[in-house]
Amino acid sequence: MRIGFVSDANVARLEWGRQNGFRSFQWNWFHTSPVAPGNDDWKPFAENFAGAALDRGLRISSIAALYQNPLDPAQNEFARNVFQRAIDVAAHIGVKSVAGFIGAVIETENNARGGNPVYKPLENFISQVLAFWEPLARDAASKGVRLAFENCPQGAYHLPVMHYNLLGQPALWERFFNATKCENIGLEWDPSHLICQFIDPVANARKFGSKIFHVHAKDAWINRDLIKQFGICHPGVAEHRFPGLGDVNWPEIIRVLLAAGYESDLNIEGWHDPVFRDHKPDAGHALAGVKLEDRGLVMARRWLEQFVPPEP
């Protein structure tokens, strides 16, 4: 298990990671990269980028294919092509997991305001979900690649309001895993999204550990004073943070993952902490113009490394 970060296909960023003690990363924004669908001559770039990572001692833990809604009919073909290409690239350069959102089936609700999208529960549409994903999963399995779906609910204020990710709520995970025969379908697990739903990540990891294929290391903090005043549906109740600054019990999480045989890495997902982020010069507060995002990443790496046994 290595501590890493999330990046696009940027060699300069890989070098930054090497200089700052990181040993893995997730290749993010794949669908806008030079190897995305539309570029048939993708192998040279993929090979060169994988080589650049290897030269710097960085393991590509996962390819983050697409975090949109593949089950939206308007996105079906695009999403299928992106995930297929990500699977092919992963197989070609030796990456074990391809990640993204599973999506949600949309219906249109007609009312006085016109047609509004309505996201329906998974159990109503399991057959449609499987019809889209299982062919991709079977092809991925034949190439030694796994599909890892992130559990972000995509709700307002980070709260668990149903939106365009059916696997945002753990109550649906078991139903989906029981419905599919594809053993290479699992989770890109992020404990911060569980904290925001008042779910114990440790108990959750114990239950679903065998299905956790990739981890986004992100923390969250619950403002219980706000809850007492305004309830859970209030801005600021749930706040994402860098690991070590929130409510996630990282020592026990790492222990549970190791006990479950987790064989990938912890890649820190930044850009969420409201303090440790790069503040615009005109932000109007004490941190205006201060660049803290990368400092937060390094701080989180140091925190997590306390609990990860060194590789042999």
Measure Cα distances from 273 to 221, 228, 249, 254 in Å.
10, 23, 17, 21
**Tokens 């993010």 identify what position?**
28
The percent of residues in the chain predicted with pLDDT above 70, rounded, is 89
pLDDT of residue 161: 58
Higher pLDDT, 46 or 73: 46
Least Cα distance to 244 among 265, 212, 268 occurs for 268
pLDDT digits (tens, 9 = 90+) for 198-207: 999 999 999 9
Residues of the chain with pLDDT > 90, as a percent, come to 72
pLDDT for 283 equals: 62
**pLDDT, tens only, 108-131:** 555 445 555 555 666 678 888 999
Instruction: For residue 75, count CB atoms less than 10 angstroms from its CB and return exposed for 0-12, middle for 13-18, buried for 19 or more.
Output: middle
pLDDT, tens digit (0-9, with 9 covering 90-100), for 240-258: 999 999 999 999 999 999 9
* Per-residue confidence band for 213, with pLDDT thresholds at 50, 70 and 90: very high
Mean pLDDT, range 264-278, rounded to an integer: 90
- pLDDT at residue number 111: 46
From 307, 187, 158, select the one nearest 244 (Cα to Cα).
Answer: 307
Domains in the chain, please, with CATH?
3-305 (3.20.20.150)
- Rounded CA gap, 280 and 284, in Å? 9
Q: Give the global pTM.
A: 0.91
Predicted confidence band at 289 (pLDDT cuts at 50, 70, 90)? low
Least confidently predicted of 61-70, 132-141, 165-174 = 165-174
Banded model confidence at residue 285, pLDDT cuts 50, 70, 90? low
Quote the pLDDT of residue 112: 45
Give 277's pLDDT tier (boundaries 50, 70, 90). confident
Q: Is the pLDDT of residue 212 over 60?
A: yes
- Report the phi/psi class of residue 100: left, alpha or beta, with left for phi > 0 and alpha for psi in -120 to 50: left
Tens digit of each residue's pLDDT (9 = 90 or more) over 23-32: 999 999 999 9
Residue 312 clears pLDDT 80, i.e. is over it: no
Predicted local distance difference test score (pLDDT) of residue 171: 85
- pLDDT, tens digit (0-9, with 9 covering 90-100), for 68-95: 999 988 999 999 999 999 999 999 999 9
